[in-house]
Structure 1
Amino acid sequence: MYRFLLTPRWWGINVFVLLAIPFCVFMGSWQLSRFEGRVQDHRAATEQAASDRHGAARPLAAMLPVDKSTSGRRVTASGRYGKQLLVPGRELDGKRGFYVLTLLRTDSGRALPVVRGWLPGKADPAKAAAPPVGEVTVTGALQASETPGDNGVSAQGGLPAGQTAAISSASLVNLVPDRLYDAWVTLDRADAGMKAVPATAPNGTGLDLKAFQNLGYTGEWFVFAGFVVFMWFRLLRREVEFQRDAALGLVPKQEDVSSPAATV
């Protein structure tokens, strides 16, 4: 009854199934490994951020450029505060507010964006205390330039003068006359009644939408593998039923009768 499995049509079906199932399993396993890798990166970044809070601060120049190994590390920089900007739409402890961002002009001739703290409510220059006057030394966590639209960073345009949606050299270059570092610092201790802004994990190490997309793709590939197996058994069952009915004379037993497997 199962001799039909040796026909050219079923040879093609069987070869397809034997190739499709390992391919789906391989792709599902690969997507799962991508998700597990992101989880591991997130765990490592979280542990690094926790250890960096107690580590010794190093000079800013020694920690540039910012990458996964230096993001979140404590750095020090000296200079004089200059232009101050507000970064609206930022959350802290479940509340909506804004960052107070001040440019620190260093001896190198470039300016370092420094987040001096966070304040609740709508961005209002009157709420933000003026920066200290004279030469200052700041200590805080080094951060990479933000990318608008990623990790909750607003891509909003048309903000009032004195505000910026993202803390990045690309966004700030049109707002300030200074040459900028491609990095920023969030102070360990906020100034003048503001709350300190905690450091964030480096880009690509968080459990963001892309990470859960990998997990979703994992499920899809394993579902595809199961669907291939289900369809093979369905075709096999219909073929067996067709052969049984033909043997009982319930359907014409002719060589030109089409098999149900060809019509599914």
Structure 2
Amino acid sequence: MYRFLLTPRWLGIFALTLVAAMVMVLLGNWQLDRYRERDAINKRIDAATEIAPVPLTEALPGPGDAAGTAGQAPPEETAWTRVTATGRYDSNNIILVRGRTVNNQVGFEVLTPLILADGSAVLVDRGWIPPAPEGANARPAIPAVPTGEVTVVGRVRMSESRPDTPQRRDGQIETRRISVSRLAAELPYPSYGAFLLLDEQTPAADPAFSAIPVRHENNWQNGGYVVQWWLFALMTLIGFGWLARREAHGEPSDAAKHEDRVGDDPVPVGPAGHSPTSAQNG
């Protein structure tokens, strides 16, 4: 009954079905990997609030010796680790990060180099400030840095994707995306290869700053895509089986039914009950 499956036509349909199903399974597996990656990030974010901070030098690779360079970026699993560092803020090289939204308002994040005892620095995101009353393009009032020695506790953050080139406007460094290596090139000392999102500071941080909200990754979206792609693969295989069964049991396709109707049309009958063909033959 199913010998027709060995014909070239059905073998071709079966091959296309398998290829389509395999592609959908692979897409589901890719989404599963993304789900696991994002789930691991969320677990690190949650764990960071419960674990005591470690010294900066234990979490991040050290910077090089050359000024204007950034050290090696740490492994991805280091992200969100809470670290502590002590140094002095460099008020001459504050960096404004444009176009940052907090509580549905677009403003600026303020990165400030913290110069450590060995002369190297780590960038610290001190928080968010609103735009100037004159508009988003006007320079905002930046809270002054504490004088003297400062101890910070912050979470390790990696450079952001799609970085732009930092610019200086009236001597002020500005950027849209945080790329540690590109920002380090603007600084007169070596820098660590990641930056810190400030949690705590001694002396206390200026109340003009708003804390940067820590957003968890939407891993459940990827989980939904996994189920979706795998269901599509299963439905593709089931669809092939349904077509094969329909063919085996002699259920004609819509095209075949149309051809049958055309073939069964009655022959027109001419005068005296004779068809045109019979009349010509006569």
**TM-score, normalising length from structure 1?**
0.71
The equivalent of 1:72 in structure 2 is: 80
With 236-245 and 103-112 compared, the bigger mean Cα shift is at 236-245
Is 1:86–1:164's contact at 8 Å kept on the other side of the alignment? yes
Are 1:146 and 2:148 an aligned pair? no
Matches within 5 A, 1:118-157: 118-121=128-131, 122=136, 127-148=141-162, 155=164
The equivalent of 2:41 in structure 1 is: 45
Is 1:98–1:118's contact at 8 Å kept on the other side of the alignment? yes
Are 1:237 and 2:253 an aligned pair? yes
Instruction: Give 1:143 shift.
Output: 0.7
Q: Distance in 1 between matches of 2:2 and 2:175?
A: 73
What are the ranges of 5 or more consecutive residues in structure 2 without an aligned counterpart?
Answer: 61-72, 267-282
Q: Distance in 2 between matches of 1:145 and 1:208?
A: 25
1:216-249 CA distance string (max 9 Å, x none):
99489759948x8499879x72685599689979
Q: Distance in 1 between matches of 2:102 and 2:260?
A: 70
The equivalent of 2:271 in structure 1 is: none
The equivalent of 1:195 in structure 2 is: 210
Is 2:108–2:129's contact at 8 Å kept on the other side of the alignment? yes
Instruction: Give 1:90 shift.
Output: 0.6
Relative distance call for 1:156 and 1:215 in structure 2 (3 A) is farther
What are the ranges of 5 or more consecutive residues in structure 1 without an aligned counterpart?
Answer: 150-154, 251-264
Q: Which amino acid aligns with 1:14?
A: W
Relative distance call for 1:101 and 1:27 in structure 2 (3 A) is same
1:27-75 CA distance string (max 9 Å, x none):
1122112213322322332232022022100011211253332100100
Is 1:32–1:218's contact at 8 Å kept on the other side of the alignment? yes
The equivalent of 1:262 in structure 2 is: none
Instruction: Give 1:181 shift.
Output: 1.2
Q: 3-state DSSP class of the match of 2:200?
A: coil
Q: Which amino acid aligns with 2:111?
A: L
Match of 2:112 among 92, 96, 102: 102
Relative distance call for 1:248 and 1:198 in structure 2 (3 A) is closer
Matches within 5 A, 1:166-181: 166-181=177-192
Is 1:186–1:198's contact at 8 Å kept on the other side of the alignment? no
**TM-score, normalising length from structure 2?**
0.67
Q: 3-state DSSP class of the match of 2:31?
A: helix
Q: 3-state DSSP class of the match of 1:188?
A: strand
The percentage of counterpart residues that share the same residue type is 23
Q: Distance in 2 between matches of 1:241 and 1:104?
A: 80
